[in-house]
Amino acid sequence: MKGSDRQYLKSLAHGLKPAVYIGKGGLTDAVVRAAESSLNAHELLKVKFNGLKDEKQEIAEAIAARTESALVGIIGNIATFYRPNPDEEKRQIVLPKS
């Protein structure tokens, strides 16, 4: 993902509230299912780390791998992910052309 795409997605995500929270239980199947559901519905997802804050980079990379999404970035204890809808007609987010 290009830096300009990342910046654009960060600007879109700025006003979003986290849809998935990770606590002491870490990355469970329920967390992955919730992330999948949110990405299917909205394409852009924020995940807040309430627990395991020292492991957030590794957990965020694992979420991206398991959901086949892109890790847009981590700011503080919130990670942002993006996965475009495979059906181009149903895409809600269109990345700007370079």
Consecutive sets of 10 residues in the chain, 98 residues long: mean pLDDT of each?
A: 89 94 92 95 94 89 96 95 89 83
Task: Give the pTM.
Answer: 0.91
CATH number for the domain that contains residue 30: 3.30.110.60
pLDDT of 87 reads: 84
The pLDDT score that the predictor gives to residue 78 is 96
Helices 56-67 and 29-42, interaxial angle, to 10°? 60
Residue 89 lies in a domain: no
Give the structural domain span for 34: 3-84
- Residue 75 has phi, psi (to 5 degrees) of -125, 120
Number of domains in the chain: 1
Burial label for 82, CB within 10 Å (0-12, 13-18, 19+), is buried
Model pLDDT, residue 98: 60
